[in-house]
Amino acid sequence: MNLLKFPKRVFGIGAVFVGALLAEFFVLEGAAGVSWPSDRYSAMSRLEISAKGTELHFTTRNNRFTVVDPNSAHGPPREVLRETFFRDQEYGREGPPDATVTVEAMVDKRVIWTFQESGERGDVVTNDIYRVRKDGNGETPNTYTYFSLVDGRKVRTNLSIELSREELEALDASIAK
């Protein structure tokens, strides 16, 4: 009789294990934006309108790809950036929304580095520098954060003003060393 219970237990444990893996995938894909490696060459945008408590929220997730060619001798010959812009705007709320910019650098089919920063906008400003802008409100200024496109590390943060062309060139030269 115990031999008949063994296959049921194995099946039950297997079903729980598979269910846990599926739940983890949907949490990672839906909440964190983590995707299968095969999905890394696909970009889609999503809009969700939902009520959280009594407030209406507009949540967007936009993806795009940018091809860059770092000048640095240390960098790979060609990278593709997969940029994800997440924004949760509460209707009628003053100030900047909850927003993040996530960037993955890919060479061939492998991710070589990634970063995530609070902010609404992000763009490549030189061959070796990526800028993320976090909007301020009436009491706080905009924040500009700069990242190396060679290795994804944060290299500078400025409050209120963007770097001038000369400052960008100097920062770019320091990354290329």
pLDDT in tens, 45-90: 888 888 878 888 888 899 999 888 766 555 555 788 999 999 988 8
Burial of 2 (0-12, 13-18, 19+ CB in 10 A): exposed
CA distance 53 to 138: 26
SS3 assignment, position 96:
coil
Return the beta strands (E) in 53-97 as ranges. Answer: 55-68, 79-90
Render pLDDT for 5-33 as a digit per residue (tens, 0 to 9): 556 666 667 666 666 666 665 555 554 45
